[in-house]
Structure 1
Amino acid sequence: MRATPRQAARATAHLVLAAAMAFGAYIYITVLLITATGALAVAGIWLVPETVLLTRRIAGAKRRLTGSWTGQDVPEAYQPITGTLRERLRVSVKDPGTLTDLRWLFAYFGYGWLTVLVLPLWPAALLVDGLWAGLLRRTPVVLPLITGLADLEARWSAALLRPSPKALLTGRVERLTATRADAVAAHGAELRRIERDLHDGTQAHLVALSMRIGLARRAYQGDPEAARKLLSDAQDQAEDALLELRHVVRGIHPPILTDRGLVGAARALAASSGLRVAVQAEGLDGGPRPPAAVEAAAYFVVAESLTNAAKYSGSGQAEVRLGRTRSGLGVRIRDEGRGGADESAGTGLLGMRRRVAALDGTMRVTSPVGGPTVVEVDLPCVW
């Protein structure tokens, strides 16, 4: 593919930033030398974790720069540096990400310098290239070279900054450990909610029902009219107990999911939300259904999001989108309200995130002040 002036300009901007980072990397050598000297002298051992954290930020900036050029994110995998000085030192030294960053940094001292040397020659080369293409009607030569150099620099950086399999595995284990802890916490909270609902609701109705039946039995011989009234009250109490029991069961696994599927259940939620909700489904009509746990999590996300929108958004309309993704099931809820949703202000968003994380899913909440609020969830599953 022929390089265009626009591509060349973008490549030039990328290489200018790469050259600036290379120049900064040379300055950073001073920091590394001070840290090494302090570590050897023991008195400055505390500099090691701070330098590792600073190196992570520099490598992160390079990952973002490389990703913006290639269009593909460069992953990172780090162990958190927290705790006492001894713990911070241990993680800083043993974390595979530290070796990856240092390997890239020292390599960048070499190939990053090439961009610094080449950049001053480009204005003259572009002028010659313009004359070559404009006057002699020949194919430009410099533009493809600029784009190719940017590609080469980005490929080297991506290869050097990509975490090792060991680091990726370590990060994966840590995420699964945190997810498991969240799942256990969510499960415990759900059990406590069910116990509270059964104790305060269904059990109270059943106790009252038993008392009314007992009173009706005693009054049956002497005052049949009073017995009939007590039995009528007992029937009402039994219906209330059934309603409470259905509410508890609905919280465990909504029966409507079994009866109508996720799309039908989402439309039922939309109809009862008090909002004007447009429900769109892509690739979910017919064919295999997602696993029950995935459907239940998606249902909970939709229900909680619409409840939050009705309570706090100040908007009368919302949108729900459900669809297949490459990895599983995607859920997106948007309201046109005032925004400013804060996960730390309540348990709703946190409960949603925990349910999603328990299935190894991802959740993103975008809610700038002034709106809109968008909740996006991706639940991995096999169809």
Structure 2
Amino acid sequence: MKVRSRLLACLRGLGASVLALVSIILSVLTILSITFIPLGLGVFTTPVMISAVRAHANRRRLLAAQWSGVQIRMPYRPLPHDRRSGVTGQVELCTFLLKDPATWRDLLWLQVDMTAGYVIALLAFVFPPYGVEGSVLAAGVWEPIVDAGGTYWYAFIPVTSQGTANLAALTGLGLIALGLFVSPALLRAHFLLSRAFLAPTPQMALAERVERLTATRHDAVDTSAAELRRIERDLHDGAQARLVAMGMSLGTIEALIEKDPAKAKELLAAARTNSAEALAELRDLVRGIHPPVLAERGLGDAVRALALRMPLPVETEVELPGRFEEPVESAAYFAVSEILTNAAKHSGAERMWLDIHHEAGMLRIAVTDNGGGGARVNHGGGLSGIERRLGTFDGVLAVSSPPGGPTMVTMEIPCAPTAPRPAV
């Protein structure tokens, strides 16, 4: 590891120790707020303080990932959407937050962070500066200090002469080297300690997974029912109506074929046109249920074909090791289709980029456009529906869309190849 990065770890240790001191303030204020709940005041202040604690904890999660590569998942339960307004709603919110086990783990983390966490973070910082102090003593700085206050102790060395000052300087250099060596490890240890309290416990993770699977199961059932209704409606209003009309035309042709051959020939041409249109509608319907190219060639070729049909140019980069389970391929294909279609309609983009690859057991999909940005995962919106469908496979969706663009929609689905890529 380079000296610069080790020095940076030392400075980050100082930043982490300052944040650990913030934990003291938040801990005191939150505990006081909870104790005021029986008086009524705490009902209004506790949600505010818990939100502040969560923001503080989320800041630590972000720094853990950025500074030491320590990933800390958020364990918080989503806030209820149907919360009432006024005092009643405030009471419900306060009760909901206090019933969340993550709230009490955050409070426990505050106690640990302002004690052991503070000490570890400070140790990650203190060695190099203290080493610099010892190093400058040999430059004659020791004399006025000793003259003013007598013997000056540096670490375990009593500095009373130039010789002992030189020894202190050597010790200081050693402390600088030691600090540069241990600072990254101590900083990582600080964040690992935080993860022990901020990450969800196995029980919390299991409860979250059960809740998510329950929700996605309901969504999958609702989606399937809606899809069946759509297919029935399309068949009834499209191909079925054309086939009925064609049957009636054939009956008329049968009656006219001897009396008025010219008219029968005209009706035969119309029936042929209706049959072609009915066949095209049936093909479109089948493609909407499960595209033939997806079944025959797999996800990679299917999304390439999809990109060619878009009204905007789409640059595709696909690197897949082979085929995946049919439900996974279908979910990924229709998610990409909906995102590309929405971007083409609403983003104002001139180009789009599609990247699909498989890595570390994850199918990763990124769709980017150079449009105006502002896309959000709103409840009941299209992106929300994609997120719920991916949740059926434990997949996740993330959206980055600042005002002015660009917009990037990233999806990950845990899966493994079921068949190798066919030889070309």
* Same-fold call, TM cutoff 0.5: yes
Query: Greater CA deviation, 72-81 or 368-377?
Result: 368-377
Residue of structure 2 in register with 1:231 after alignment:
268
Q: Which runs of 5+ in 2 are unaligned?
A: 84-88, 139-165, 418-424
Are residues 151 and 190 of structure 1, via their aligned partners in 2, closer, same or farther at CA, if it must alter by over 3 Å? same
Percent identity of the aligned residues?
37
| Cα distance, 1:78 vs structure 2 | 1.7
Q: CA 1:306/1:254 → structure 2, altered by over 3 Å: closer, same or farther?
A: same
Aligned match of 1:189: 226
In the alignment, the residues of structure 1 paired with residue 93 and residue 387 of structure 2 have an alpha-carbon distance, to the nearest angstrom, of: 29
Q: Secondary structure at the match of 2:258?
A: helix
1:22 aligned residue? 20
Partner residue of 1:165 out of 202, 205, 212? 202
Match for residue 134 of structure 2 among 128, 134, 152: 128
Provide closer, same or farther for how the CA distance between residues 7 and 185 of structure 1 changes in structure 2, counting only shifts above 3 A: same
1:247 counterpart = 2:252: no
Say which SS state the counterpart of residue 141 (structure 1) adopts. Answer: helix
Residue of structure 2 equivalent to 1:375? 409
Deviation at 1:290, TM superposition (A): 0.6
Change (3 A) 1:93 1:311: closer
Match of 1:364 in 2: 398
Query: Does the 8 Å CA contact 2:105/2:197 hold for their aligned counterparts?
Result: yes
Tell me which of 53, 56, 69 is aligned to 2:54.
Answer: 56
How far did 1:239 drift?
1.5
* Structure 2 Cα separation of the partners of residues 258 and 344 of structure 1: 32
Q: In the alignment, is the contact (CA less than 8 A) between 1:22 and 1:112 conserved in 2?
A: yes
User: Given the alignment, which residue of 332, 341, 349 partners 1:298?
Assistant: 332
In the alignment, the residues of structure 2 paired with residue 176 and residue 58 of structure 1 have an alpha-carbon distance, to the nearest angstrom, of 29
Distance 1:283 1:81 in 2: 38
State the match for 2:293 in structure 1: 256
Is residue 16–residue 118 contact of structure 2 (8 Å, CA) maintained in 1? no
TM-score when normalising by structure 2: 0.77
Specify every segment of 5 or more residues in structure 1 that has no aligned partner in the other structure, as ranges. none
**SS of the counterpart of 2:357?**
strand
Considering only CA atoms, is the larger Rg found in Structure 1 or Structure 2? 2
Aligned-residue CA RMSD in angstroms?
3.3
Report the CA distance shift for 1:103/1:34 in structure 2 as closer, same or farther (over 3 A): closer
The AA in structure 2 aligned to 1:364 is: A
Cα distance between partner residues in 1 of 2:381 and 2:233: 17
2:104 matched to which residue of 1? 99
Give the letter aligned to residue 363 of structure 2.
Answer: L
Q: Structure 2 vs 1, CA of residues 16 and 334 (structure 1 numbering), >3 Å: closer, same or farther?
A: same
Where do residues 265-304 of structure 1 align in structure 2 (5 Å cutoff)? 265-284=302-321, 287=322, 289-304=323-338
Q: In structure 1, how many angstroms separate the alpha carbons of the residues matched to 2:184 and 2:261?
A: 97
Q: Distance in 2 between matches of 1:347 and 1:56?
A: 27
User: 1:52, CA displacement in angstroms?
Assistant: 3.3
Aligned partner of 1:352 among 383, 386, 407: 386
1:85 to partner: Cα distance = 5.3
* Residue of 69, 72, 79 corresponding to 1:71: 69
Distance in 1 between the 2:8 and 2:191 partners?
A: 13
**1:99 & 1:113 partners in 2: Cα distance?**
20
Determine the structure 1 residue equivalent to 2:359: 325
- The 5 Å alignment of 1:140-155 reads 140-155=177-192
